A = this chain, B = another copy of it.
Amino acid sequence: MRQIAIMGFGTIGSGAFDVVNTNREIIKKNLGEELQVKYVLDIREFPGQPVEKVLVHDVDTIMNDPEVDVVVETMGGLEPAFTFVKKALEAGKSVVTSNKELVAKKGVELMAVAKAKNVNFFFGASVGGGIPIIRPLLRSLSADDIDQVSGILNGTTNYILTKMDREGTSFEAALKEAQDNGFAERKPEADVEGYDACRKIAILSSIVEGKFVDFEDIYTEGITKITSEDFEYARQLGWAIKLLASSWKEQGHRYAMVSPVLVKPENPLYAVNDVFNAILVHGNMVDNVMFYGRGAGSHATASAVMADVVEAVKHLGENIYAGWSEEKRELSDISMSEKQFLIRVKGDVSRQSELATKFGAGQLIDADVAGEIGYLTPVLSEKAFEAAAAKTEGILQRIRVQA
């Protein structure tokens, strides 16, 4: 019998509590012994609920109990999560977390404490919810030179974009519907501005590089400026608009970026809709592999949390490399990276030769939107694009195209 504690009884913490209870026999079979939640830490009371029996309000009850081998952190946010997690590691307990902010911001420090204490700090649930991605990257693609990771890493924005595509609605209307259906928060900035996806791609980039990639260095653009007209052009082209979080190598540089991108049907991410997430990984040997599933939600995320707990219990007293070194990997400025752009400009087909002169030979796209015309540029650097755009009148929109 192994005892664990859960810190934070919100969406994911209560999901983890459910998983332990509902799948007791499965976990016992896979772990070789029974798992029990000895404590749940929360500031709230839950009168009459099963959790009441194990509820504690003082974190030191957990820290001081030598019977607790693994602590699950599902509070979210930086504090007090960081203080509690560090304390647990220093007390010789392994920690499993779903907290992407904590991992992206404080991962290096916490991994170092885990190593020094010969315990583990696992965070498989911090990216992609229930989708296995962190461990496969570390353990199943370890013979590949991974040159690109692109993901739909935020379910809220994917739901909104899918709605806009299917129903022709505006961003504002789709956001409101997502909020009404519980798929978006009342304060939606973290999702719709791309901040959530940014932290997740920082984690994946760090794993792939084996070095610390700072999320604050990643160019991040959300979906708030995407309009129903943009989708007219996407439909005309037969493409989709997705919020992609990408990290890639190009001529010795490492780039990372979060932005809305036009995705072609031959890309497996094209068909990933609604709240689903997916991560497309390209290796020089394995080619493309994709991991798909629910990137959020109580039980899906808790499934990943509890799988990490099983691993942590199996490796008590043995620190497993499951992160990155403290060395920082600098990202190159995206201005040198190259791609195609779709622009929408005021006017009509008569602008073709002007646009070709400024951006290079591309393709006019007429999506039957009154008073404007689209133009698909050739592949050019972000810098060259910006220079040409600065000299062009009446640009209404620009969206990158996924190669």
Chain A residues close to B by CB (< 8 Å): 15, 18-19, 22-23, 26-27, 29-31, 124, 130-132, 135-136, 139-145, 210, 268, 271, 283-294, 297, 299-300, 302-304, 306-307, 309-311
Contact = CB atoms under 8 A, between A and B. Distances in A.
A285 B140 contact: no
B139 A135 contact: yes
Given A132-B139, A135-B140, 4 more contacts: A131-B289, A141-B307, A142-B306, A286-B303
Interface centre among A23, A135, A286 (most CB of B within 10 A): A286
Identify the 8 closest CB pairs spanning chains A and B, nearest first.
Answer: A143-B306, A132-B140, A289-B293, A130-B286, A286-B303, A285-B303, A290-B292, A132-B136
Nearest to A129: B286
A304 to B, nearest CB: 7
Contacts of A268: 271, 292
A307 to B, nearest CB: 5
A309 B285 CA distance: 15
23 contacts: A18-B285, A22-B284, A27-B143, A29-B210, A130-B289, A131-B289, A135-B135, A139-B307, A141-B303, A142-B310, A143-B303, A143-B306, A143-B307, A144-B303, A283-B303, A285-B300, A285-B302, A286-B300, A287-B293, A287-B300, A288-B292, A288-B293, A289-B292
Contacts of A292: 268, 288-292
Contact of A144 (B18, B26, B271, B290): B26
A71 to B, nearest CB: 16
Number of copies: 2
A285 B139 contact: no
Given A29-B210, A135-B136, A136-B136, A287 B130 contact: yes
A248 to B, nearest CB: 16
A22 B145 CA distance: 9
Given A142-B307, A142-B310, A23 B299 contact: no
Nearest to A309: B143
A152 to B, nearest CB: 13
Nearest to A134: B140
Contact of A286 (B142, B143, B144, B304): B304
A23 to B, nearest CB: 6
A210 B28 CA distance: 12
A291 B291 contact: yes
Nearest to A141: B307
A293 B30 CA distance: 27
Most chain B Cβ neighbours within 10 Å, of A143, A288, A307, A310: A143
Contact of A299 (B130, B286, B300, B311): B286
A208 to B, nearest CB: 10
A132 B22 CA distance: 27
Nearest to A130: B286
Task: Tell me which of A139, A297, A300 has the highest count of chain B C-beta atoms within 10 A of its own C-beta.
Answer: A139
A310 B141 CA distance: 10
Contacts of A26: 143-145
A140 B132 CA distance: 6
Contacts of A284: 22-23
Contact of A287 (B271, B294, B306): B294
Which of A19, A31, A271, A289 counts the most B-chain CB atoms under 10 A from its CB?
A289
